[in-house]
């Protein structure tokens, strides 16, 4: 209905205050008094108040009175014109959480063979009806409003596998929504599904404890990207089950799939978002491609990764099986979670159940948009924070995930992030939490944002280290060089990047990376920034970049395919570019097996020598020494008190010059990029090369 055709609106804007907007085209917007009628009891109250501003063709009135939220009311003016009282804006009041915060752990559907209880938090609604069906068996059940705005009902019937939605009524309007706490759903969020949790009890493999985050080597990959390439010969292409196949090989006979990751030696597999996202049709998953940073539901796995997205049990069981199979190979699972925004501010279960509550607004009531996706989650709202915590707990307990990578973490408030860590660590002492600490323009004071600048306020939370990225490979501008691409003016900055030098409160907070799903690959960037060089030289620079990433103090992070010089053909934002651009290219893996083997060596070196994994600054400063050699080469000198070698000297030379250094004869070369040798107490490090020496 067009606003100009409506003559009166009435909103509850506080718990004792109603705002009425009366059209200036209707009695000049003048009414001497108003009446509030309870439609359940027919009780009528006379309301008087003061006229306030005139705006957009309406005269506003503020009327003080008491009312019961969730009850149907109508407001009448002095001439008999009437409209329903709208509660939706009440969720933006400061007192809303005090009135309606619900700390129970029983929201959603809870099944037994004899009965199922349904509970939904919807304090602004005036009616909630459960619509539930299986095949032709369709029923409607009204829910009873209880304490804190929780509606509930118990159906004494075996409802295993039934589909359901809630019909949320707000006065004369109603809307259908899936259950934000449901354990499963059908394709494209059509309906939620009642699940017998006894059928999806998690069975898992025990894992060796992760004592310190610096013991981790993180490998980022998308579920679809991992297995979709024909050359990898994985049967369940683009599915969770693609991670469950063993013994798979490429067409050239090299290991693919999980056997390959096992061989490579990574400790953590970070998965691009696997919660239900909006932009791939789950019934036709091959028609569109998306990374998944457009969440539709946080509570269930993405259906395009399931063999049958309409099977509520498969949605859970196949996701569980993927996690279990990764664990079987002694690797942990990190989920990329997008708790900063949703795909559609209106078409999601949170907004439908409690309008205006779950999304952050500025002082003018406008939606905050620090995410650049049209909305930001209101993480300081108590029930929004509780929902995030409840979903994080579900992914840990029901699916067995071992940590979270938080997308655009700078939009989320510090208290919420610390609570996620505390809850996660209480469930699992090896829990990891890290994310993007960029300072986004969300409607939250800078002091409350989980940004890199505020890392001292989140001592157990890691941050993607953009200083490391921009120093080592160069910034995201394609033509600008970094240290490993030949800008030796950045030698001193590279030294700082390798050893952090107190940028973070803890070494364990530094997630060292030079490539991730965002932006161009390192290989593609070097084609532009180093286009004057031949391909072999650029390949060596890519390997230099990987070596510095893996061996630096902090937590190394590798993007899938980076270890075999992955390319997206110059695409710098491939979020919807399709499989041809985003797939893990197993044929390229075979082509650059020499690079893969070098990366495997660097990972093994890190895992078996604690000097690359110091987690205490004092310990690191006593055992790590790093020098600028002739303003071009980095000498990375490490000592340790255990292991086969007690001392390492590693040389990174991105310049074209042959640099000669003196070195003791009892050092031996464990790795050299250009067949360097130690002779007569000297080592010649060739141009664009690196050498690992130890004794």
Which residue numbers are catalytic?
407, 436
Which pair of tokens denotes residue 350? Answer: 């949170």
- CA 382 to chain centroid, in Å, comes to 20
CB 671 within 8 A of CB 656: no
- Distance from C-alpha of 111 to C-alpha of 219, rounded to nearest angstrom: 38
Which pair of tokens denotes residue 289? Answer: 């491609």
3-state SS assignment for residue 670: strand
* Residue from 512, 549, 544, 510 nearest 530 by CA: 544
CB 383 within 8 A of CB 101: yes
- Distance from C-alpha of 494 to C-alpha of 565, rounded to nearest angstrom: 22
Dihedral sign for Cα 393, 398, 399, 400, please: positive
Query: Torsion angle, CA of 585/587/591/596, rounded to 10 degrees?
Result: 50
559: left (phi over 0), alpha (psi -120 to 50) or beta: beta
Instruction: Render 289-349 in DSSP notation, one character per residue.
Output: ---S-SBS-SSSB-GGGSS-TT-HHHHHHHHHHHHHHHHHTT-EEEEEE-TT--S-SSSSH
The single-letter DSSP state of residue 143 is P
- Distance from C-alpha of 258 to C-alpha of 231, rounded to nearest angstrom: 15
CB 694 within 8 A of CB 645: yes
The single-letter DSSP state of residue 5 is G
Sheet holding 624-629, edge to edge: 624-629, 633-639, 647-653, 689-694, 668-672
CB 149 within 8 A of CB 69: yes
3-state SS assignment for residue 64: strand
The single-letter DSSP state of residue 254 is -
CB 61 within 8 A of CB 51: yes
3-state SS assignment for residue 592: coil
Dihedral sign for Cα 158, 160, 162, 166, please: positive
- Distance from C-alpha of 18 to C-alpha of 272, rounded to nearest angstrom: 45
- Distance from C-alpha of 449 to C-alpha of 444, rounded to nearest angstrom: 7
- Distance from C-alpha of 238 to C-alpha of 235, rounded to nearest angstrom: 9
CB atoms within 10 A of CB 507: 24
Residues 6+ apart with CB under 8 A from 209: 429, 430
- Distance from C-alpha of 690 to C-alpha of 634, rounded to nearest angstrom: 10
Backbone angles phi, psi at 422, to 5 degrees: -60, -45
Instruction: Render 525-585 in DSSP notation, one character per residue.
Output: HHHHHTTTS-HHHHHHHHHHHHHHHHHSSSEEEEETTGGGT---TT-S--TTS-HHHHS--
């Amino acid at each position: 209905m067009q606003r100009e055709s409506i003559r009166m609106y009435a909103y509850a804007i506080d718990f004792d205050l109603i705002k009425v907007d009366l059209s200036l085209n209707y009695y000049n917007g003048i009414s001497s008094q108003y009446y509030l009628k309870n439609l359940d009891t027919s009780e009528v109250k006379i309301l008087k108040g003061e006229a306030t501003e005139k705006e957009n063709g309406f005269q506003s009135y503020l009327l003080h009175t008491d009312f019961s939220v969730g009850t149907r009311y109508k407001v009448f003016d002095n001439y008999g014109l009437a409209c329903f009282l709208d509660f939706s804006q009440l969720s933006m009041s400061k007192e809303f959480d005090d009135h309606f915060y619900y700390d129970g752990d029983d929201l959603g559907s809870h099944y037994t063979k004899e009965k199922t209880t349904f509970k939904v938090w919807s304090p602004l609604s005036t009616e909630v009806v459960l619509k539930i069906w299986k095949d032709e068996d369709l029923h409607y059940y009204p829910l009873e409003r209880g304490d804190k705005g929780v509606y509930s009902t118990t159906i004494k019937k075996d409802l295993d596998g039934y589909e359901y939605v809630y019909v949320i009524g707000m006065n004369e309007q109603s809307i259908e929504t899936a259950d934000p706490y449901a354990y499963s759903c059908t394709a494209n969020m059509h309906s939620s599904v009642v699940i017998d949790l006894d059928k999806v009890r998690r069975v898992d493999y025990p894992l060796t404890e992760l004592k310190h985050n610096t013991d981790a080597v993180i490998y980022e990959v998308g579920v679809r990207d991992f297995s979709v390439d024909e050359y990898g010969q994985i049967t369940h292409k683009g599915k969770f089950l693609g991670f469950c196949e063993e013994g798979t090989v490429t067409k050239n006979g090299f290991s693919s799939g999980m056997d390959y990751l096992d061989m490579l030696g990574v400790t953590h597999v970070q998965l691009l978002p696997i919660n239900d996202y909006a932009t791939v049709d789950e019934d036709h998953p091959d028609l569109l491609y998306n990374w998944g940073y457009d969440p539709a539901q946080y509570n269930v796995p993405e259906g395009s990764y399931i063999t049958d997205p309409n099977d509520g049990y498969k949605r859970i069981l196949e996701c569980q099986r993927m996690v279990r199979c990764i664990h079987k190979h002694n690797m942990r699972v990190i989920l990329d979670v997008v708790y900063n925004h949703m795909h559609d501010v209106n078409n999601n279960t949170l907004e439908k159940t409690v309008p205006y509550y779950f999304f952050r607004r500025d002082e003018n009531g406008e939606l905050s948009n620090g995410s650049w996706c049209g909305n930001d989650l209101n993480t300081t709202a108590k029930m929004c924070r509780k929902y995030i915590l409840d979903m994080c707990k579900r992914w840990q307990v029901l699916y067995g995930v071992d940590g979270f990578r938080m997308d655009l973490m700078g939009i989320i408030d510090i208290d919420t992030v610390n609570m996620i860590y505390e809850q996660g660590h209480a469930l699992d002492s090896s829990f990891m939490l890290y994310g993007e600490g960029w300072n986004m323009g969300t409607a939250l004071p800078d002091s409350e944002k989980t940004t890199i600048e505020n890392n001292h306020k989140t001592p157990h939370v890691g941050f993607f280290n953009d200083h490391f990225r921009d120093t080592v490979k160069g910034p995201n501008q394609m033509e600008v060089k970094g240290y490993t691409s030949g800008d030796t003016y950045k030698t001193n900055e590279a030294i700082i990047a390798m050893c952090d030098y107190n940028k973070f409160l803890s070494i364990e907070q530094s997630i060292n990376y030079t490539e991730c799903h965002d932006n161009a690959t390192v290989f593609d960037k070097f084609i532009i920034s180093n286009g004057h060089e031949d391909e072999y030289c650029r390949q060596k620079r890519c390997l230099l970049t990987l070596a510095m990433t893996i061996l630096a103090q902090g937590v190394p992070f590798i993007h899938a395919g980076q270890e075999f010089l992955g390319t997206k053909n110059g695409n710098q934002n491939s979020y919807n570019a399709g499989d041809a651009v985003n797939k893990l290219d197993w044929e390229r893996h075979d082509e650059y097996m020499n690079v893969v083997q070098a990366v495997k060596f660097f990972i093994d070196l890190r895992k078996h020598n604690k000097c690359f994994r110091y987690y205490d600054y004092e310990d690191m400063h006593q055992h790590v020494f790093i020098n600028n050699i002739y303003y071009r080469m980095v000498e990375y000198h490490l000592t340790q008190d255990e292991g086969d070698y007690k001392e390492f000297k590693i040389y990174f030379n991105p310049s074209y010059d042959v640099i000669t250094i003196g070195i003791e004869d009892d050092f031996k070369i464990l790795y050299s990029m250009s067949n360097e040798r130690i002779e007569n107490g000297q080592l010649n490090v060739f141009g664009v090369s690196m050498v690992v020496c130890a004794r």
